[in-house]
Structure 1
Amino acid sequence: MGIEQGLISFLMMNMDIIYLLDLAGTAVFAISGVQVAGQMRMDPFGATVLAAVTAIGGGTIRDAILDVGPAFWVHDPVYLTVIILTSMLTILFANRNHRMPPILLPLADAAGLALFTVLGTQKALAYGAPGMTAVVMGVITGVAGGIIRDLLASRVPMVLQKDIYATASVLGGVVYTGALLIGITEGWAMLFAMTGVFVLRMAAVHWHLRLPMFVLKHHRE
């Protein structure tokens, strides 16, 4: 059985689990969107908009590129419901406690990155995309929403800075596809990949790990 057929069989047998994971990723990315909105002193509507683009922006772009029809959330309002409820609860929690724990944003962001990277890669493979393309789709799913969020908040997107962020997403996609190629079962492949993304991202946050910067030297006549 090929990887594509194996993935389809796995998805059919574990549809409820995959769906719940997708909703969980939507919620944690929505939290990170509200967190950024709070830092920029936006109103609740602005916070909900940032939550929405962060949570479903990457998946929407992925589905458009893969040409799989309307984006996943168009015919399933549960995603929008999760975003709205998560935004309201996060805002209420922040108002009641005056401030959120500083670690909450990186934790939520890392968890969402790990989940969406693997789920995006998985969906691309299930639709017959080659491994390298699937990795790119996973990265788009994981980071594109955050890019849109940061642009709307007038910030330099995190993925374009020296922090290890997109690199962690690439690692997750490579680990996931590589694990499937060598015969590791789908569930373990997902676990290894998500753990790799989350651990690398949080290690980068904790120890301030950076990629080397590219700086052009001034040309001298």
Structure 2
Amino acid sequence: MTIWYIIDLVGTSVFAISGVLSALRKKMYHDIVALFFIGFLTAVGGGTTRDVIMGAHPIAWIRDPNYLIVISINVVIAVLCRNWWLGALQRPLLIFDTIGIGLFTILGMQKALLAGVNDWASILLGIITALFGGVIRDTLVNDLPLILDRQLYVTPCLAGALLYLLNNSLGVDATLNLILSAGLITLFRLVAIRLDLTLPRIQI
């Protein structure tokens, strides 16, 4: 297993937990099967959308059963530890979502670039990978998708994606580049939330 594969599974785990916690927080889903599907769609929604756009077949979770195994394990963990997640940690959903978008933006870009996609298209595909699972999650639990909220959500992903391309052109080690770029996305978003930073609104 390569470091990229392991990080992909970690990102899948993070988003699966995010989906389950979101459903539990809204008290909308109580049976384990429904929670599994929320976690599953959150975890693979973005990557599946990216692969469909690129025409990449078979899609990763269809080809490799480890994705479904990891999602199932983390759904169970999230359910068993739900009182700790939702009680002891402040805003755990936000933490998991922020880590997830950082990892998946760069992983999505890396997969797109390996498939021969141009640099600018890889940025869009990386952002789709990171955000579409969350859009599906928020829609299913009747939340306003974060991509439409006042918080800076797409902008940190774009900043990290541009850093990844810059480092890639400079020959920075791929693993180090992932850490730096995903770290920038995570830090940027957390600071933006903390300081309530927003971009100027277009008035209609």
Q: Say whether the fold is shared (TM-score over 0.5).
A: yes
Listed as ranges, the matches of 1:97-112 within 5 Å are 99-112=87-100
CA pair 208-97 structure 1, distance change in 2 beyond 3 A: closer
TM-score of the pair, normalised by structure 1: 0.86
In 2, the alpha carbon distance for the partners of 1:97 and 1:130 equals 40
In 2, the alpha carbon distance for the partners of 1:68 and 1:115 equals 20
Q: Which amino acid aligns with 2:21?
A: Q
CA pair 89-210 structure 1, distance change in 2 beyond 3 A: same
1:34 to 3, 17, 20: 20
Per-residue CA deviations over 1:46-78 (Å, capped at 9, x if unaligned) read 322221111110000001111111210001111
2:65 to 72, 77, 81: 77
Q: How far off its partner does 1:45 sit?
A: 2.6
- Name the counterpart of 1:175: 163
* Number of corresponding residues: 202
- Name the counterpart of 2:149: 161
In 1, the alpha carbon distance for the partners of 2:81 and 2:113 equals 39
Per-residue CA deviations over 1:166-211 (Å, capped at 9, x if unaligned) read 1111111111112111332322221221111010111122222222
TM-score of the pair, normalised by structure 2: 0.93
CA pair 94-100 structure 1, distance change in 2 beyond 3 A: farther
CA pair 96-210 structure 1, distance change in 2 beyond 3 A: closer
Q: Would the aligned equivalents of 1:94 and 1:100 in 2 still touch at CA under 8 Å?
A: no
Q: Which has the larger radius of gyration?
A: 1
| Paired-residue identity, % | 34
Is 2:167 the partner of 1:203?
no
Coordinate RMSD, CA, aligned? 1.6
Q: Which amino acid aligns with 1:158?
A: L
Q: Would the aligned equivalents of 1:120 and 1:137 in 2 still touch at CA under 8 Å?
A: yes
- Structure 1: 5+ residue stretches without partners: 1-14, 217-221
Q: Would the aligned equivalents of 2:61 and 2:67 in 1 still touch at CA under 8 Å?
A: yes
Q: Secondary structure at the match of 1:73?
A: helix
